[in-house]
Each structure stands twice: as structure tokens, then as C-alpha cells.
Chain A
Amino acid sequence: MKLIIFAGPPTCGKTTVIRQVVRRIIKKNFKPAYLKIDVLYADEDEQLKREFNIPTKKIYSGELCPDHCNVVVLDEVVEWAEQKGADFLFVETAGLCLRCSPYIENSLGIVVLEATSGMNLPRKIGPMLTLADISVITKIDLVSQAEREVFRYRILEAAKEITVVESNALYGIGIDPIVRDILKSKDIEHPMFLKGNPPVGTCTICVGKKEIGAKNHFGVLRTMENDLFYVGE
């Protein structure tokens, strides 16, 4: 089975892209499965199940940041998808943390960014972009060609090796090259490893400690003037 992880800011078009991809994968007689990880609310699993009659699942990360949640649950989800006889597991994650990336070594990581999000976005989102294999730019139908060029340039500035695909996902334009790369991607290798370096230490903020100020937390910390330091065992 192949694992493909889609990350990207809220409402950037992840589900719309996945829907187009799933349609084409089914046409080629493969069986996809789908997982959505979100913080509080998601209904894409029901939509996709209804639309394509494929195994789908959702997990609410709740207190955890979605990407951390992904790290802890993914092995079980892979097992579930394999039991369902899937050839492809598509994971859609809300990717809100911006410090960690959800991608897995040797599996395809796809970041979805909307062309309408402003020229500085590629400079702001860190590993979610730099560790991805493909960057899909959606909503190209809504911006001028000149701005598209600048947006793409800014993506390549942040992630030099990334493959950029421009898409009007509503009409399925620009989806075929993504499908080609998905078909070419490698099968899951066990054990799975997170791509790149996970966010430093144990994040007490991610697990819900609300107090402001380094003195209230442990793990890898910093103060305004000082570099990172470690508190804990």
C-alpha cells in the first residue's frame, strides 16, 4: 500500500484536490482509503464515503496538535486501511502547528497552498512546505497570471527541490501530474519514520498547558533574549 499525506492551511483546497485524485485513482481500478485528521470538526470522511463508496475515517486531535496526533496514530490507521484492502491511503491533515511536518520518510508528502493566500505565505509555513515533495497551488482561476508567477517563485525560494503543480481543483485542471507522481511513489516501509526533525522536545503547549511564560513549562524552552534551553529529565 502507498501512503500519501496532504497537508495545508484550512480551506486551501485539500479535500477538493483529494476528491479529484480519488476519482482518477478509482478509474484506474485501484482502491483508495481516506483519513481526515482535524482538531474539532470534519465531515469530509462522510462526504467521500458517500461519493465514492470507499473506506474513510476521521480522527479528532482535540488537545493535541493535528500533526502530533498523526505521529501517534498513523501506524494503526495504516493497519486499518490494509485490512480494508486499500492500495492507497490518503491522509488529509489540518497541519496547524507550522513547526512540525506530518510527512513520512519514503512516502509522498503533498502540501496544498491557495494562490489567493498572499505572497508571504510560502515564507511563513516552514517544514510543512520545505519537507513536502509536491506543492499544489489551488485556486489559480482567481488570481492574475503575474501573481501566480510570483507566488510560485516564492515557493521555490523556500523549497528549492519541490515539484510545483498549479491547479484549478474545482474543474480538475492540473490534477493529472499529481496522479502520475502518486502512482510512481513507493510502498510504505515498516517501521515508519517521520520525515525531518520532529518539533523539539515534548511540547507542553501542544498538550494543553495554557500558562504563558517559560517558567510554567518544561521541555525545550527559550526566553525572549536567550537561545533554546532544556528543562526536565
Chain B
Amino acid sequence: MEIAKITVIGGIGKDGQPEKVKRFDLKMGDIISIVGPTGCGKTTLINDIELFANNNTPSERRILINDEPIPDDFSFDPSKHPIALISQHTNFLSDLPVGEFLKIHAKIRGSDSAELMIEETLDFANQLTGEAIIRETAMTELSGGQTRSLLIADAVIIGNSPIILLDEIENAGIHRTKALKLLKKYEKIFVFVTHDPRIALLSDFRIIMKNGAMQKMITTNAEEKVAAIGLKKIDDVMLEFRKLIRAGEEITDSIFAEQIEDLAASYKIYLKRRKS
């Protein structure tokens, strides 16, 4: 089945009241974010999407594909499942070596160039991690960040899923900016559950949730897109500090001042550009 569009039709929140957002569409190439406080139902919403909920989950939401609901007795062969969900908690449980696992997965997905795919997958994953993932490593030995990186790379390249749902990838300690940049090269639907303002502002729109219900939908406007560039600068400064600390440096007054002045200088440039 060729997927051009997915529609989420609102159900009820934790209090049983109808959701304020009645429906939204996801079209190929869209990047969206789900935001809201801890426990507000973000994970529940993307689970509904992954399951193609049809009024059969506690939220009573319905998911349409190309404007049609999925028939009740329809079930995907998981190797053709169009949605990949990178969840908050999943870890690898298999003690197969990484290379072997990827080979089996590529074979199941019907690839005839498994070797190339494994290389591309590892290359993608290793751009997101600190320490590179080695083929011979058992999957259970990977760190949390390495695991998450490999899950994302596997879903994008070997799984080649057209719809990818990512639950709080920022918590895994992987390289977010790189991840976003790499992911944008692939024409897919990306849904980020996130507490990270940068990811939210780089999305086409965001859904704001509270008490189990979708409250509001905000399209990222031109002003916010500019703010996103500024946030990247702040983010880079934070990353710079992280790098220094990781490298065993001391954060002296002068190092701190240098970074902040850098930030102030970019803000001035930004204000000037806004005027013109």
C-alpha cells in the first residue's frame, strides 16, 4: 500500500472530555513534534498512530490512511509495517553480534545488497554516537545512546519505513543536531515526541498536549523559524561546554565569558538582519 497521508482523529482525554484538536494530517515529508508536560499522554498518542487505532484504545482516537480506516481484521506483516517506532525504553535483548543481526534484518526486508545496507546503517548510527559501534559487538553490550542510534539508523535505512515515530531521542545522549540534519535528507514523515525546543521549532507544526488530550496545534511561522536558528546557537554553546567538560577542562571565567560574548555577537547580527 502506498501511503500519501495519515490522519489522526481526536478522541477523548484522561477526563473523558473530547479533545480540542479534532484532527490533523501528516503528509510525506512532514516533520512534526508532540510536546507537553511529563505524563500528559505524548507516548500514548504515538502508540495510537503506530497501532492504527480505530476507536479501540483508551483514547478512542482513530487513524486514517489515505482517508480510509484500517479494516479491523487487517494486520500488517511486520516486515512491511510502514511505521517504525523508536520508543523511550526499548533496548536490544538479542545477544547476536550487531553485524549479524543487521544482516538477518536486511534479508527479511528483502534487500539484495545487504552488505551495502549494513555499511550505510552503521555509518549513519556512528555519526550520532560518541563511541563508534563495531560490527562484532553483541547488541546487548551497546550503550543506551548507541542502541538508540542503531535503532534509528536501522529504521531509516534497512526498514526504510515511510513513517518514523521517535520518542524523546534527546534523552539518549545522541547528537541531536546531526540526527535532524541526517533525517531531513530522507523523504519521510517524522514525528518527534520531545521536550527540546529546538526540535519543536524545526518541525512544520507541533501538537500541544495536556491531561491526555491534544489541546492545540501550532504551525511554525517565519518568526519562529528565525528563533530556531538562534536556539541552535545557544545549543552549540551548551555543546561546547559539554565538550570541554568531557575533555576534562576547567570552565574558567574567561572561557565562560568568551562563549557568552560569542552568543551576544550573534544576537546583534541577528537583530540587524531582522531590521533589513
Contacts and interface: CB of A to CB of B under 8 A. Distances in A.
B94 A145 contact: no
Contacts of B159: 145-146
A152 to B, nearest CB: 6
B222 to A, nearest CB: 37
Interface stretch (B19-27, B72-80, B182-190, B198-206): B72-80
Contacts, number: 59
A47 to B, nearest CB: 23
Interface string A28-40: 0000000000000
A176 interface: yes
Interface residues of A, number: 20
A118 B108 contact: no
B92 A147 contact: yes
A166 interface: yes
Interface residues of B, number: 30
A16 B107 CA distance: 33
A153 interface: yes
Contact of A150 (B86, B87, B104): B104
Contact of A149 (B56, B86, B87, B108): B108
Nearest to A116: B93
Nearest to B139: A147
Contacts of B214: none
Given A145-B78, A177-B75, A150 B93 contact: no
A232 B139 CA distance: 50
Given A153-B108, A177-B73, A148 B78 contact: yes
Identify the interface centre among A116, A142, A144: most chain B CB within 10 Å of its CB.
A144
B81 interface: yes
B191 interface: no
A133 to B, nearest CB: 16
A147 B90 CA distance: 10
Interface string A78-122: 000000000000000000000000000000000000001011000
A143 B90 contact: yes
B155 A145 contact: yes
A145 B78 CA distance: 8
Contacts of A149: 78-79, 105, 108-109
Interface string B88-99: 011111111000
24 contacts: A118-B94, A118-B95, A119-B94, A142-B89, A142-B93, A143-B90, A143-B92, A144-B87, A144-B92, A145-B78, A145-B155, A146-B155, A146-B158, A147-B92, A147-B94, A147-B101, A148-B78, A149-B78, A150-B101, A150-B108, A166-B78, A173-B51, A176-B72, A177-B75
4 closest cross-chain pairs (CB), A and B: A144-B90, A119-B94, A153-B108, A146-B154
Given A149-B79, A149-B105, 14 more contacts: A118-B93, A118-B95, A119-B94, A143-B90, A144-B91, A144-B92, A145-B159, A147-B93, A149-B108, A149-B109, A150-B104, A152-B78, A165-B75, A166-B78
Interface of A: 116, 118-119, 142-150, 152-153, 165-166, 173, 176-177, 180
